Amino acid sequence: MLQLVVFSLLNGLVYGMLLFMLSSGLTLIFGMMGVLNFAHASFYMLGAYFAYTLSQHLGFFPALLLAPVLVGLLGALVERHGLRRVHRFGHLAELIFTFGVAIVVGEIVQLVWGRPAKSYQVPAVLDVPLFRLWSSSFPAYKAFMLVIAILIFGFIFVVLTRTRAGLIIQASLTHPQMVAMLGHNVPRVFMIVFGIGSALAAVAGVIAGPVLGTFPGMAEVLGSIVFVVVVIGGLGSVTGAFVASLLIGIVQTFAVALNGSFGDALLAVGVPESASGPLHDVWKVTVAQVAPVLPYVLLVAMLIVRPTGLFGTRET
Amino acid sequence: MRTWTRLLLLVIVLAVVAGVPSHATPADPIRIAFVDPLSGPFAATGENGLNQFKYAADGINKAGGVLGRQLEIVGFDNKVSPQESLIQLKKVIGENIQFVFQGNSSGVAHAISDAVQKNNERDAANRILYLNYSAVDPALTNEKCQYWHFRFDAHSDMKMAALTDVIAANKSIKKVYIIGQDYSFGKAVAEAAVTMLGKKRPDIQIVGNELHPIGKVKDFSPYVQKIVAAGADTVITGNWGADMVGLAKAANDGGLKVPFYTYYAASDGITAAIGAAGIDRIRLVHETHPGNPNAPKALGDYITGYRKLHPQNDVNQPRINTGLNMLAQAIKRAGTTDVDKVAAALEGAEFTTLGGDHVVMRKEDHQLQMPVYISVHTNKNIKYDLDASGYGLSLEHKVEREKAMQPTTCKMQRPA
């Protein structure tokens, strides 16, 4: 039992930190530009595919550095020449634009790399168990993922709170007009933030690709959950994204580990099991089976109780 | 006399002129729909299936086609969704295509089977034939059987019977964990495993019976952790596509070293993902000779030809060739593409597969009777590898057709 708890906690942490890497960029873009960036997960996918190709020529670690830079530049280009033009037509146009980018990227990936999953492997150095506890092992690669995610959190935190650039970004989050009045080039700030956000998504892609698989459907698999994280954490709040990511990661992992069903829970409070009838199937549904739905349940609950999210300050 | 010869000449010339075009220009192709996922998480599986259909059709066309006509495979993307499949089926009917192949997901198969049956009852002039090459929920040829559905793959009970025979014979297996996708097929696998193991080896303990959502799980580590915690010494899974890749990867990472008995743990990137960690540990139950060792020559040539066209893909569903060839033969025997006559010709039809197996389409339930193979993932003596990875499947055990046969509860309603 203790083994299950320890490893579930570790797995939950790793998964949560992965979600954080994806959602930190999204929440920054979301909070600053008011754009629900549907293409965010596509940059995550591009990160994985770029790294896959680069790692075949240069090895994994140069790819870990290069792929996010390339994707970040690409993101900045998309903002500069696409989003900025569409911006003047309002949020709806921006929304549809990012939606289009997501579809285009998805198709391009299939054209260039094909539809079968790519054999993008964990580098041999990290492909060893870090430690064995009881009868399971914890791979070194997952520890590596954790370290990278913590470094990124530290990086964002320091940039946002300890530098001049961070000051301007934070100010643009809440008072974009005022920042522009003060003579800052707000469109350029937007471009940089969009680029950095895309690069962060790409980092997540580079390190998640070998674990979660590198295939054309990988963006869709994580796309929706990242929005849940951002809304629960609060729009534009990096701290919120951090807490919400860990919360969802751990809740989901533990839900899978549990064996109980609704019938068991009701039995515990004295409601007898209905052996037949329309509710019979509902009775037998286990917590593990509903695990993937839990984040969305959390999302709905959050929107009802606290629409601004855990750490958000504004509702739009 | 001269006028007569002239007239005769004229008649001959006219006949030749009139006759030439009908022989020289090829007749309309016989169009065959392929309704399966061509986008989304399972696109890789669908795309490779489509390519195998085209390759099999090429083979038939090069040998002269069917009734002097060529076969043409037309892909329709159903996104593995039953609703989308029904929309695509309407398109198929709208384009006057009479033959529909589908295989990925028994959930979709039930929807199509239903819709085809209704269509054929309503509209006798525009009937279509549903040829199922891969959806293996036993219900499709048992309680839900219907006349217009034919299955070319061994259903999951036939496969499970073979798997549980092998497991029963292995006395070191004591604790089995069953994990599968949460839909009709995953449930059918779990149910069959529990009943059959209960009969054959009542001493084996089922330490876990888990269903997870299909195509939605990002990281299988929590599930793997649960398998470890349950103390399982063997895992049975019906997972396919991305769900199998994820499970195999998480098992490798989590240090889960127990044997896996699977339905679909090969090809489409899965073999490459499993790699060295799965040697002699991952087993697969399937319907044709795996190609190693000593592939029958016809199968070997077929694989080599396909790999030339698609170096990254494998012939992972030789039943596609069986299905398409049996359909072609039935059309030939019926002398027409009329669905009623082709269906009648398919009933009881016999065929020799690329692997040299003699298979029969059983009349009672339209389930192809075929042998079942069990193979192991390895890199030793692999002539035909999978995913161009150096790893492949090697034959361990073959259950002959007569032994693989399962009874059916089908009471088929035949058209009057």
Question: What three-state secondary structure class fits A137?
Answer: strand
pLDDT for residue A271 = 65
pLDDT for residue A134 = 72
Close Cβ partners of A178 (under 8 Å, ≥ 6 residues apart): A171
Distance spanning both ends of chain A, measured CA to CA: 44
Chosen from B253, B268, B313, B316 to mutate, greatest number of chain A CBs within 10 A: B253
Lowest mean pLDDT among A115-119, B10-14, B231-235: B10-14
pLDDT for residue B4 = 63
Could you tell me the pLDDT band of residue B59, with boundaries at 50, 70 and 90? Answer: very high
Torsion over CA of A274, A276, A281 and A283, rounded to 10 degrees? Answer: 10
Report which of residues B51 and A157 the model is more confident about. B51
Chain B residue whose CA is closest to A6: B225
In the predicted structure, residue B23 carries a pLDDT above the cut 50: no
**Tens-digit pLDDT profile for residues B185-219:** 899 899 999 999 999 999 999 999 988 888 778 78
CB contact under 8 A, A289 and B212: yes
**Tens-digit pLDDT profile for residues B156-179:** 899 999 999 989 998 999 999 999
CB contact under 8 A, A118 and B269: yes
**Which of A3, A116, A129 is closest, CB to CB, to B44?**
A116
Distance from the Cα of A89 to chain B's closest Cα (Å) equals: 31
**Which of B213, B255, B312 is closest, CB to CB, to A114?**
B312
Contact status, residue B341 vs residue B332, Cβ threshold 8 Å: no
Distance from the Cα of A290 to chain B's closest Cα (Å) equals: 8
**Tens-digit pLDDT profile for residues A36-54:** 888 999 999 999 999 999 9
Distance from the Cα of A222 to chain B's closest Cα (Å) equals: 7
Quote the tokens at residue B115. 């819709």
Considering only CA atoms, give the Rg of chain A: 21
pLDDT for residue B22 = 43
How many Cα atoms within 13 Å fall on the side-chain side of residue B43?
20
Q: Which residue has the tokens 């896959």?
A: A52
Query: CB neighbours (10 Å) of residue A108?
Result: 14
**Which of B42, B218, B228 is closest, CB to CB, to A222?**
B218
Give me the count of residues in chain B.
Answer: 416
Q: CB distance from B256 to chain A under 8 Å? A: yes
CB contact under 8 A, A1 and B229: yes
pLDDT for residue B372 = 94
Torsion over CA of A222, A224, A228 and A233, rounded to 10 degrees? Answer: 50
CB contact under 8 A, B245 and A213: yes
What stretch of H or E contains B77?
strand B71-77
Question: What three-state secondary structure class fits B373?
Answer: strand
Close Cβ partners of B157 (under 8 Å, ≥ 6 residues apart): B138, B188, B192, B406
Close Cβ partners of B219 (under 8 Å, ≥ 6 residues apart): A11, A14, A15, A211, A212, B246, B250
- Cis bond leading into B293, ω under 30°? yes
Q: Is the ipTM of this complex over 0.85?
A: no
B240 φ, ψ (degrees, to nearest 5): -140, 165
Chosen from A226, A250, A256, A261 to mutate, greatest number of chain B CBs within 10 A: A256
Contact status, residue B249 vs residue B223, Cβ threshold 8 Å: no
Q: Per residue of chain A (316 residues), what is the pLDDT tens digit? A: 777 788 888 888 988 998 998 888 888 888 777 778 889 999 999 999 999 999 889 888 998 999 999 999 999 999 999 988 888 888 888 889 999 999 999 999 988 988 777 778 788 777 777 777 777 778 888 889 999 988 988 888 888 888 888 888 888 777 778 888 888 888 888 898 899 999 999 999 999 888 887 888 788 878 888 888 988 988 878 888 899 999 999 988 888 877 766 666 666 766 666 555 566 666 677 777 777 788 888 889 988 988 888 887 665 4
Mean of the per-residue pLDDT values of chain B: 89
pLDDT for residue B217 = 81
Q: How far apart are CA B252 and CA A302, in angstroms?
A: 37
CB contact under 8 A, A15 and B219: yes
Q: How far apart are CA B266 and CA B259, in angstroms?
A: 15
pLDDT for residue A88 = 84
In the predicted structure, residue B387 carries a pLDDT above the cut 60: yes
Q: How far apart are CA A163 and CA A161, in angstroms?
A: 6
**8-state DSSP, B320:** H
Q: How far apart are CA B342 and CA B235, in angstroms?
A: 42
In the predicted structure, residue B18 carries a pLDDT above the cut 60: no
pLDDT for residue B24 = 40
pLDDT for residue B14 = 58
Could you tell me the pLDDT band of residue B11, with boundaries at 50, 70 and 90? Answer: low
Q: CB distance from B251 to chain A under 8 Å? A: no
Q: How far apart are CA B52 and CA B59, in angstroms?
A: 11
Q: What is the DSSP string of A2-31?
A: HHHHHHHHHHHHHHHHHHHHHHHHHHHHHH
Contact status, residue B393 vs residue B266, Cβ threshold 8 Å: yes
